[in-house]
């Protein structure tokens, strides 16, 4: 038995003898002419071998060995299916000068699939919002603009309190409905879809391509799954390992719902008092949408939002009295809005 040391050199048909050493075979001390042969199952012998390395048949995953040998002082090589190889023999390396015989067997195959990490449920997001509404069809119109800008921020510090891939955040900002600005304050619930990634595949023999018939079996981690191979006997000292790794791209789609109250800034007609119908006052919003993060720091989303807005105006048909020189009424707009959100996203 031996463990062959790997050397990254490829002996072409024109290489000289000393470079015929992808996986150098053991030699007797001080001797470079140890006779090593490979015996195939059809009893063919390949003499003057200098290297045996695990590989595959070209264009396939059929396990094979590449045998490098000397012929006329020139290094040559051949690839042989591993099931066609019986043994390797080294003359004079066994006890009492007997040949040392090493069986050549295929190895087990393992694979590991690594997904991108689940997105962090805690994040901070600041977005610029462009909105468009339908025409105000309320009985008492309040003059809302059909195009309006907003700035919003979401702070989601609660981790996975709602479960895996869910986030709960607090939403706040400043929103315009023409010449007036209002303060939205509410909750934002987000569901993250499965992480998106770019797949890379790496493959190779463990511990290397030069290990045959070692005493110590190879040990892999628990995240590796053994794949059936069409071989009755295998060499436990090596394995063929495939790693499928998805690297995060930063694109992370999500769905969300949000809603809350709208508070007035200081403008003429803000608030419920004084008015003849203060019970009609009530400002709130509710919406839903879809979006994605991009490059891990940018967020893009589109959403629908329903808004109920109020403004107090003088009542033209309500003559003032002695105790009420100015009578006001609360006017209401019920707006259906389409929003486009673009901003920056930080996870923690």
Are 61 and 39 in contact by the 8 Å Cβ rule? The answer is no
Structural domain boundaries in the chain: 2-104, 123-195+250-347
- For the segment 87-108, the average pLDDT, to the nearest whole number, is 79
Tens-digit pLDDT profile for residues 220-270: 989 999 999 888 899 999 999 999 988 888 889 999 999 999 999 988 888
Per-residue confidence band for 95, with pLDDT thresholds at 50, 70 and 90: low
- CA distances in angstroms from 247 to 114, 123, 204, 301, 337, listed in the order given: 9, 21, 19, 23, 37
- CA distances in angstroms from 297 to 152, 249, 253, 343, listed in the order given: 16, 11, 13, 9
- What CATH number does the domain located at 123-195+250-347 have? 2.40.160
Res 164 pLDDT > 50: yes
C-alpha–C-alpha distance, residues 190 and 300, integer Å: 14
CA atoms within 13 A on the CB side of 213: 13
6 against 280, higher pLDDT: 280
C-alpha–C-alpha distance, residues 65 and 68, integer Å: 10
C-alpha–C-alpha distance, residues 6 and 66, integer Å: 13
Bridge partners (DSSP) of residue 343 are 127, 299
């Amino acid at each position: 038995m031996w463990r062959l040391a790997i050397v990254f050199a490829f002996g072409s048909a024109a290489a000289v003898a000393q470079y015929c050493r992808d996986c150098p075979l053991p030699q007797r001390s001080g001797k470079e002419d140890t006779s090593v042969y490979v015996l195939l199952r059809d009893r063919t012998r390949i003499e003057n071998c200098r290297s045996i390395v695990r590989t595959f048949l070209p264009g396939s995953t059929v396990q094979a060995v590449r045998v490098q040998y000397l012929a006329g002082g020139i290094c040559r090589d051949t690839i042989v299916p591993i099931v066609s190889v019986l043994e390797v023999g080294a003359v004079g390396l066994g006890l009492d000068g007997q040949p040392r015989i090493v069986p050549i067997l295929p190895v087990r195959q393992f694979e590991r699939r690594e997904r991108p990490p689940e997105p962090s449920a805690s994040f901070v997001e600041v977005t610029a919002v462009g909105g468009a509404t339908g025409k105000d069809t309320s009985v008492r119109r309040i003059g809302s603009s059909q195009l309006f800008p907003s700035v919003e921020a979401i702070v989601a510090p609660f981790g996975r309190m709602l479960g895996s891939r869910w986030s709960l955040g607090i939403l706040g900002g400043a929103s315009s409905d023409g010449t007036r600005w209002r303060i939205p304050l509410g909750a934002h619930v987000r569901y993250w879809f499965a992480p998106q990634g770019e797949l890379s595949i790496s493959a190779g023999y463990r511990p290397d391509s030069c290990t045959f018939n070692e005493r110590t079996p190879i040990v892999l981690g628990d995240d590796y799954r053994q794949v059936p191979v069409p071989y009755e006997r295998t060499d436990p000292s090596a394995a063929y390992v495939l790693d499928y790794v998805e690297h995060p791209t930063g694109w992370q789609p999500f769905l969300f719902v949000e809603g809350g109250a709208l508070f007035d800034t200081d403008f003429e007609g803000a608030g419920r008092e004084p008015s003849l119908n203060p019970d009609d006052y009530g400002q709130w919003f509710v919406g839903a949408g879809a979006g994605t993060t991009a490059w891990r720091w940018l967020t893009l989303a589109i959403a629908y939002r329903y808004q109920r807005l109020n403004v107090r105006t003088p009542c033209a048909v309500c003559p003032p009295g002695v105790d009420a020189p100015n009578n006001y009424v609360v006017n209401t707009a019920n707006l259906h809005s389409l929003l486009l959100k673009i901003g920056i996203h930080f996870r923690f």
